[in-house]
Structure 1
Amino acid sequence: MVSATVAAGVRRVRVPMPGGGLPFSNAYLIEDAEGAVHVVDPGSPTRAARDDLRAALRGARVASIVLTHLHADHAGGAAALRAATRAPVLVHEREAEALRTLAAGLPAPDLDAWGVPAERRPELLAAAVVPAGPDPVVPDATVADGEHLPVPGRRLRAVWTPGHTPGHLCLLDEEAGVLFTGDHVLPTVNPGLGLGGPTATNPIDDYLAALDRVAALDDGALRPLPGHEDPFTGVRERCAVLAAHHRRRADEVAAQAGGTVWDTAATLTWTGGWDALSGSTLLSALRQTAQHRAR
C-alpha cells in the first residue's frame, strides 16, 4: 500500500521506520480546496521513507508540512521534503522553542543519581542523543493553540497537547470528524513522556491535562488518526485508559520507599517486562519513573 484514503480528502501513508521497533509511522496527506496537499508528519529521514512518501505525492503540489512533534520518526523527513517542494514547515510555538534548546545541546542524563549499573550506562548514553535526529529541521513558522492552519477550504485547528514533547500538537478537523493525534494518543501503545528536552512543568501532569482536553473533543463520532498503528475509534475511552495507566504507575511508585530511580523502575509493571527494556525504551522508562517520583 502506497497510500489509502482514511477520511474525506485525507490519505494515510505508512512510512517505514528503521530500528526494529514499531514498523511504520503514519504520514497524512490532506487535500485543500485549491487542489494542493498539506503533509502531516513526513516520517523518518531514510531513503525508504522518502521513496514511499514521494510515490504517494507523485504529481501533487505540497503547500505545507505540519509536524505534530520534533521526533525523527515524524519530523526527520521534513527538511528533504521542504527542499524538494519549497513548502514551509510548521510546528507549535512551544516545539520550536524545544528544537532551539535541543540544538544548543543538553547535558547527559544523570545516570549516577539514578543509580544505573555501570554495565548499562553505555547504551543509555547512546540513546540520549538529540531525539530530533542528527540534523533536526528548523521550522519556517509556528502555530498557537487554537489557531486554524492555513489550509484552504478546511478548518484544521491546532490543539496543544504537551507531555510526549513540550509542544506536541494534535490537529482537529471538525467537519471531517477526524483528529490527527501524533503520539499523544495511540491505539495500543503507551506513549513515552518528557522526550523533548527539559520543561518547567512535570510532563506527566502536562500529559494528563492534555488527555482531558482531547477527551472533551470527542462527540462520539470523532475518529483519531494516530502517528503509529492504525486509525481507530473511541478516543475518549482510550484517553481514559491512558490516564488510568499513569494513575496506576503513580501508585506503584508511591509504594516504593527510598531507593534509586533504577531500583524503583525495576519493580514497576512494564509492557513486555523490565528485562526486555533496553536503549531508548529503558531510558524512557527511567525518565518516567523519575518524573513520577518528582510529582
Structure 2
Amino acid sequence: MPSSSAADPAVESITPGVRRVRVPMPPGTGLPFSNAYLIADADGRVHVIDPGSPTREAHETLRAALGGAPVASIVLTHLHADHSGGAAALAAETGASVLVHERERAGLALIAAGLPAPDLEAWGVPADRRPELLAAAAVPTGPAAQLADAVTGVLTDGVLLDLPGCRLRVVGTPGHTGGHLCLHDEEAGLLITGDHVLPTVNSGLGLGGPTHSNPIADYLDSLDRVAQLDRGDLRALPGHEDPFTGLRERCSALAAHHLRRADEVAAHPGGTVWETARTLTWTGGWDALAGFTLLSALRQTSQHREFVARRG
C-alpha cells in the first residue's frame, strides 16, 4: 500500500520509483493542492510530472521532496498554471528539459500572442455582467509567455519518454486543453491523468485557447481512448485529489455527464448562449457562477451548441 513519508507528509510513495507530491495551490483557487509525480529512472535521475503552481510555497514543497536529486526532465500534462507554473523556475535551477505535447506548444504560442476577448454581445450576456467576464478573460490561461520560452521539446502520441528502466508512453487526450496528455506505464499498471480524468471533479473543457476541432467531441474521444487502457487493475494518478481505481467507470460517468448536457442544449435550440446556459444543470447552480467559472460555463455552452449542431 502507498504510504506517506514520516519526514514529509506531502510526499507519498505510489510504487517503487514513483512518488506523489501534494503541491499547495494559492488560496481561493478552489482546490487545496495539485499533484506532482516524481519518477526515478535507472540512472538515478528524477523526472517531474507537473511541478505545480508558480508560488514560493509550491516551489519549496517540491524542492524538499526532490531532496537534491538531479532532475532530468519536466513533463507537463497541460499548460495551466497549477500544473505548469513552476516549470520555468525548476528548469532554470536544474537544467532539466521541459516537454509538452506538440499541440499544447501550439496553444501556448497562441495564448502568448494574445487571444481575442470573447464576443459577449453575441453570446447575449447582459451589460452589467460583461465587466467581470472581460476581467476573467484577460487573466492568462497560464504563464504562457514564460512557459513558452521554457519549453525545450515536444511529445507526440504513442512516444515513449526517455526514462531508462521505465516505459512511460504518451497518450494524447485533448479536451480539457487542445494538447492535454496522459502518461501510461503498462507494466506498472499506472496512468497519470492530469486534469483529463479526476475522481470526483468534472474538469472544464476547451480551456487552452482556440482549436480547429470541437473540445466536447475531442474530450469524449479521449475518454474512450483511456478507458480502453483499463483492464480492471489500472491505477489512475490524477492532477488533483487522490489516486483511484475504476478508471473505465469514471470515464463512462464523465461521458454521460457531457452527453446529458448536450441533450439539455439540444432541448433549447433557440436563443443566445446566455439564455441556453441559464437552462442547464450546473453542479453548484447557475446563480453561484461568477467570473472565471461563469466564463467557463458560457464557453462550454457554446461548445455544446456547436457539438449538437455537428452531431445533427
**TM-score band (shorter)?**
over 0.9
* Distance (whole Å) between structure 1 residues aligned to residue 249 and residue 103 of structure 2: 28
Cα drift, residue 7 of structure 1:
2.2
Question: TM-score scaled to structure 2, two decimals?
Answer: 0.93
Partner of residue 18 from structure 2, selected from 10, 17, 22 = 10
In 2, are the aligned partners of 1:76 and 1:136 still within 8 Å (CA)? no
**Distance change >3 Å, CA 19–CA 136, structure 1 → 2:** farther
Cα drift, residue 71 of structure 1:
0.5
Partner of residue 254 from structure 1, selected from 266, 276, 281 = 266
Match of 1:107 in 2: 116
Match of 1:234 in 2: 246
Provide, for residues 54-95 of structure 1, a one-character-per-residue CA deviation record: whole Å limited to 9, x for no partner. 111112110100000000110010000001100000001111
* Distance (whole Å) between structure 2 residues aligned to residue 6 and residue 207 of structure 1: 27
- Classify the secondary structure of the residue corresponding to 1:180: strand
User: Quick one: higher RCO (CA 8 Å, sep 6+), 1 or 2?
Assistant: 1
- Classify the secondary structure of the residue corresponding to 1:42: coil
- Classify the secondary structure of the residue corresponding to 1:11: strand
Match of 1:285 in 2: 297
Match of 2:187 in 1: 175
- Classify the secondary structure of the residue corresponding to 1:213: helix
In 1, are the aligned partners of 2:112 and 2:144 still within 8 Å (CA)? no
- Structure 1 gaps of 5+ residues are none
In 2, are the aligned partners of 1:8 and 1:176 still within 8 Å (CA)? no
Q: Which amino acid aligns with 1:131?
A: T
- Classify the secondary structure of the residue corresponding to 2:281: coil
Q: Which amino acid aligns with 1:85?
A: T
Q: Which amino acid aligns with 1:169?
A: L
* Distance (whole Å) between structure 1 residues aligned to residue 203 and residue 281 of structure 2: 15
- Classify the secondary structure of the residue corresponding to 1:159: strand
2:129 corresponds to 1:120? yes
Partner of residue 42 from structure 1, selected from 28, 51, 55 = 51
* Distance (whole Å) between structure 2 residues aligned to residue 93 and residue 14 of structure 1: 27
- Structure 2 gaps of 5+ residues are 1-8, 308-312
Q: Which amino acid aligns with 1:13?
A: V
In 2, are the aligned partners of 1:2 and 1:55 still within 8 Å (CA)? no
Instruction: Say what the alpha-carbon RMSD is for the aligned residues.
Output: 1.0
Partner of residue 41 from structure 2, selected from 27, 32, 35 = 32
Question: TM-score scaled to structure 1, two decimals?
Answer: 0.98
Q: Which amino acid aligns with 2:134?
A: L
Match of 1:294 in 2: 306
Match of 1:64 in 2: 73
Match of 2:100 in 1: 91
Cα drift, residue 134 of structure 1:
6.1
* Distance (whole Å) between structure 1 residues aligned to residue 243 and residue 210 of structure 2: 31
Match of 1:131 in 2: 141
In 1, are the aligned partners of 2:104 and 2:177 still within 8 Å (CA)? yes
Query: How many residue pairs are counted as aligned between the two chains?
Result: 295
* Distance (whole Å) between structure 1 residues aligned to residue 282 and residue 211 of structure 2: 25
4+ residue runs of structure 1 moved beyond 4 angstroms? none
In 2, are the aligned partners of 1:164 and 1:203 still within 8 Å (CA)? yes
Cα drift, residue 292 of structure 1:
0.7
* Distance (whole Å) between structure 1 residues aligned to residue 292 and residue 23 of structure 2: 20
Match of 1:77 in 2: 86
**Distance change >3 Å, CA 274–CA 136, structure 1 → 2:** farther
* Distance (whole Å) between structure 1 residues aligned to residue 205 and residue 17 of structure 2: 32
In 1, are the aligned partners of 2:223 and 2:251 still within 8 Å (CA)? yes
Match of 1:157 in 2: 169
